[in-house]
Amino acid sequence: MESIRSDESSAPERIPYKTNGNQSRNVPVVETNSFAFQPLLVCLRFFGIELVPSSSTIESSSKSERYKTFTLGFIFLVLNGFCNVYATLMSGTGIIEEFNTMLNSSSTDGTNSTIKISTVLSWNIIIDYANFGALTVIAHATLLSLSQQSKWKSLWNNIQRMHQEFKVIRKTMRHLTIIGLVLVFSETIAIVSFAVDFFQLKPGTEGFLPTLFPHVLHLCAMVFNIYSGCGLLLFALVGWTALLGLRCLQQQAATSSSRTLTANETVTTLAKWKSLHVLLSDVVDGMNECFGPILLIWIIHIFVGFIATPYYIINSFYSSVSTGRSLLPTSVYLMIQHTFHLLIITGIPNAITQQAIAFGKQLQQIEFHDLNHFQEQVNMLATEVLIALPRITAMEYGDLELSLIPTMIGTTITYLVILCQFDV
């Protein structure tokens, strides 16, 4: 017998959902202003990122606004790249020179020899700046190009359909959006405050403004980290939407298994489950297509951070001067931040997979004693759900799941030992 997922005759016709334009009678509409992600959309629009896809029916004034927003985002992207390149080439080496100056001023051996921080620590500082810069620029470029791509438009429509089908998740997603934005802004402020601690605004021979200008570029590079945070937040919100959708499907299956359904109700229910499962699968596929570059650069960023920050912490305990110990608060904070981000990147995909398994097992528990035909169909749907489990990857370089954490920890320890050996 043909699988219920491929049997399009019993599936309900998909209804288009409009985000703008004239509303048609008897057609469900998801207004953009009431969309659960609206706080994030407004925030990114302020930074030159328009996530609402364009439409053929869009008015000329709206097209002009979209063009202005895209132009602003492109200018910010160029400024983002310039500031981060400058911070890597100039600010990183500047902090190394400042540390060397502090180290020599704290030396009390009475000799005229010049003392410098280790080469390993110097390279770690420079690589850290390059690591943060690459994350920010690539995440910014990916977000800027999203609304121009057809795959994002498809994912956007599927997300809106899910919010229409599962109305109970709207309030939860809006709360998560607001909490996520607060965390993103808090992390950005923390990074900027740590950067300010290294500044010494002393007027040089060229005057105060020439001395201040490099620090302004450095601060801008740190502020632009908000793009990487918003990119990760967008991924987390879409992933949590899929997770809650699967949870609603499991609850519906549990409710249906506890009561007797008529033949007509069974046909409608099975067709609805099939359609929603396909919709959820499309959302996961869209996440892989749209967020691949962001997820890959985030994994690389966290991996490099897991190597660099523990080395800073170890170095601060063995340092005899305040130079190394000054990195301790920042290093501890960054280590906690990297761990939190890694749990988001791996935890949400893992939770989606586990929820799909729970939904498939719930389907297996449904029994139709007098309707063998429907029993075969629901068994086929359960089998397909359990076989075709959703998987989220970083551009197909590996599945993102909790098993990635011990692998990353083991590799990190190996590289950390090598760094410490070179330092010795």
Task: Say if CB 154 and CB 286 are below 8 A apart.
Answer: yes
**Mean pLDDT of the region 286-313:** 89
Across the chain, mean pLDDT equals 77
Classify 293 as helix, strand or coil.
Answer: helix
pLDDT at 209 (0 to 100) = 55
User: What distance in Å separates the CA atoms of residue 153 and residue 145, rounded to the nearest whole number?
Assistant: 12
**Mean pLDDT of the region 369-394:** 79
Locate the domains of the chain by residue range. Answer: 57-103+116-423
pLDDT tens column, 134-158: 999 999 999 998 878 888 988 998 9
pLDDT tops 70 at residue 54: yes
pLDDT at 340 (0 to 100) = 93
Determine how many CB atoms are found less than 10 A away from the CB of residue 415. Answer: 16
pLDDT tops 70 at residue 89: yes
What are residue 18's DSSP bridge partners? 29
Q: Which of 52, 71, 225, 45 is nearest to 138 (CA)?
A: 225
pLDDT tens column, 9-53: 344 444 343 444 433 333 344 445 457 888 999 999 999 898 887
Question: What size, in residues, is the chain?
Answer: 424
Q: Which of 142, 149, 221, 213 is nearest to 188 (CA)?
A: 221
What are residue 29's DSSP bridge partners? 18
Position with higher pLDDT, 395 vs 124: 395
Q: Can you say whether the dihedral through the CA atoms of 80, 82, 88, 92 is positive or negative?
A: negative
Q: Find tokens 């690389």 and name the residue.
A: 300
What are residue 207's DSSP bridge partners? 204
Structure tokens at 404: 């990635």
pLDDT tens column, 245-271: 989 888 888 877 666 666 676 777 788
User: What are the φ and ψ backbone dihedral angles of 372, each rounded to 5 degrees?
Assistant: -65, -35
User: What are the φ and ψ backbone dihedral angles of 24, each rounded to 5 degrees?
Assistant: -95, 150
Task: Say if CB 70 and CB 64 are below 8 A apart.
Answer: no
Alpha helices in 106-224 (DSSP H): 119-146, 150-165, 170-196, 208-223
CA angle, 303 then 389 then 242, to 5°: 75
pLDDT tens column, 215-230: 788 888 888 999 999 9
